[in-house]
Each structure stands twice: as structure tokens, then as C-alpha cells.
Structure 1
Amino acid sequence: MNDATPDTPQVGFNDLLRFLLEVFAIVTLGIFGFVAFELPWPGVLLGIGLPLAAILLWALFRSPKAVFRVDPFVKALVEIAVFSSAAIAWWVMGQPVIAVVFAVVAAVSGVINGRREFR
């Protein structure tokens, strides 16, 4: 007997990984804003503004309950923009290993998710 109804989403490993990647990207953009720019201005503004912009983009276009229903290609572009900006931020902060590992993990997870979305 299966307790899950057809409307109940199944959460798998890649879904959890994607959530952690999203949180990591948002935290990264906050760190980047505070570390890479002079404080108090523009560091504080970017340290708060960059994560908020990423959250807004994700909420509008990419989240499961997105405000706008868009084509999967637009979803992919938003995801690429957020994740690549986080990878670039690590690179600019002098952490190329973190940047490359994050970019590779995000890309593989994105491909797996994209294949699932196009089924």
C-alpha cells in the first residue's frame, strides 16, 4: 500500500543536492559582497543586495512554486546565472578549487535535473 498520492512530490538525492547548491550560492554571493568590496559602501549594499537578487530571480522563475511559469530553457538560464555567479565569486576571491568544484557539481546536478524535466 502506497501512502503517497499522485500529487505528492518525491524528493530524491538530487533535489536535496540542488537545494544545498542554491543555499551555498546565496551565501557565497553574500560573502562575496562583504569581502570583495570596500566596507561600509558598497560592501554592505552588495553583501545584502547580491543574495537578495539571486533569491528574487530564483523565486520568480526557478522555484517549484515560481511566480512565472516559463519554458525549461529560461529556468536553465536563471539557474546558470545564479550558480555561475557564485562560482565566479569564489574565483575572484582567490579560491579556484572551490569555484571549480562548485561549478562541476552544479552543472552535473543541473543536467540530471534537466533530463528529468524534459521527460
Structure 2
Amino acid sequence: MRDAPRSPVDPGDDHVPTTPATPQRRVDAWGVLRFLVCAFGLLSLAYWGYLTWPYPFPALFFIVGAPLFAALVWYFFRSPHSPIETDVVGKTIVEVALVVAAGATWISLGHPAVGLVFVVVAAVSGIVTFRRETA
């Protein structure tokens, strides 16, 4: 009987255990836009720290600290791989707060058009991402 089940520890067994396939991430236009929005938001916070605070001590603190704080808040409460379980309302509040903070940096620097365009693009990107996550 060749087709009889065998123990996986039998000598001469050529059975190699397979690992489950990891799902492949799709790269699409919305994902690229989402990445660019996040990167621009972090760079906006760093640029704000650079222009607003006197160099070297307070400026370096805000150039590094503001984007780092925003990235950590996003990771802990909004990221798809977040270690803290957050409901939809909590994720929305965190994302809105981060987008408004990055948009407000441009308004405080005297470029309200850049801030407004950023907030609108980030809102559209956030809505599309939200719809995909809840579908």
C-alpha cells in the first residue's frame, strides 16, 4: 500500500514541512499616495521645528521630537500592525489629530494654502484607506 498514511518521523520520509505562504502586499496608487501623505506630514513637522525654534538646542529637540512623537502615536494607535487594539473611532481621532497638526504647521509658517491642500489630500487618502480596511 503506497498511499497509506505514514508517520512524519519515519526514516526515509522525504516529507518536508511547508510554511504557510505570507500574503503579498499590493502596491497601488492609493498606497503610494498614503505613503507620500505620511512622509510629507512627518517632514512638515520637522521643517516646522527647524524654522520656528532657535538653533541649536530647542530646534534639534523639535526637529527630531515632533516627527518621532507623531510616528509613535500613529504606530501605537493607527497602524495596521498596532500593538494596541483601537476601535474605528479611536483610529479616526488619532489620524485626524495628526493630519491637523501637520496642516497647522504650514499655517503657522505662513503658508495656509499648502496646509489646506495637505489636509484635503490626507482626508481623501484617509477615507479611501478607511473604506478599504472596513470592507
TM-score calculated relative to the size of structure 1: 0.86
- Residue type of the partner of 2:107? W
Between the aligned partners of 1:23 and 1:66, the Cα distance in structure 2 is: 18
Between the aligned partners of 2:85 and 2:117, the Cα distance in structure 1 is: 31
Higher helix fraction: Structure 1 or Structure 2?
1
RMSD: 1.7
Greater relative contact order structure (CA < 8 Å, 6+ sep)? 1
Match of 1:29 among 42, 45, 57: 45
2:134 corresponding residue in structure 1:
118
Residue 61 (structure 1) aligned with residue 77 (structure 2): yes
Between the aligned partners of 1:39 and 1:8, the Cα distance in structure 2 is: 45
Gaps of 5+ in 1: none
1:61-92 Cα shifts (integer Å, max 9, x gaps)? 22222121211221121111111111000110
Q: Which has the larger radius of gyration?
A: 2
The share of aligned pairs that are identical, in percent, is 36
What is the SS of the residue equivalent to 2:86? Answer: coil
Between the aligned partners of 1:13 and 1:61, the Cα distance in structure 2 is: 24
What is the SS of the residue equivalent to 2:57? Answer: coil
1:77 corresponding residue in structure 2:
93
Residue 9 (structure 1) aligned with residue 7 (structure 2): no
Moved more, 108-117 or 22-31: 108-117
Show structure 1 runs of 4+ deviating over 4 A: none
